[in-house]
Structure 1
Amino acid sequence: MSIVIGTSYVWNIVTATVMGLQTAAFAGCASSHKTRLDLPHSAEVGSRSTEKLTDAQNEEFTRFQKVSQSHTQYLPLAQSSVLLAGLFYPKLSAYAGAAYIIGRLIYSVGYIKSGPEGRKYGVFFICPSIITLLSASLYGSFKALSLV
Structure 2
Amino acid sequence: MSIVIGTSYVWNIVTATVMGLQAAGFAGCASRQKARLDLPHSAEVGSRAAEKLSDEQNEEFTRFQKVNQSHIDYLPLAQSSVLLAGLFYPKLSAYAGAAYILGRFVYSVGYIKCGPEGRKYGVFFICPSIVTLLGASLYGSFKALSLV
How would you bin the TM-score normalised by the shorter chain? Answer: over 0.9
Gaps of 5+ in 2: none
Q: Report the counterpart of residue 82 of structure 1 in structure 2.
A: 82
1:119-134 maps to which residues of 2 (within 5 A)? Answer: 119-134=119-134
Alignment length, in residue pairs? 148
Corresponding position of 1:24: 24
* Structure 1 moving runs of 4+ over 6 Å: none
Residue 3 of structure 1: how far off its partner (Å): 1.7
C-alpha distance after superposition, 1:11-55 (max 9, x if no partner): 000000000000000000000000000000110000001111000
**TM superposition score normalised by structure 1:** 0.99
Question: What's the offset of the Cα at 1:4?
Answer: 1.0
- Separation in 2, partners of 1:124, 1:63: 19
- Computed over aligned residues only, the root mean square deviation of the Cα atoms, in angstroms, reads 0.4
1:13 aligns with 2:17: no
Amino acid across the alignment from 1:60: E
How high is the sequence identity, in percent, across the aligned residues? 88
Q: Which residue of 1 aligns with 2:47?
A: 47
Paired AA for residue 124 in structure 2? F
Amino acid at match of 2:81: S
**Structure 1, unaligned runs of 5 or more:** none
Residue in 2 aligned with 1:104? 104
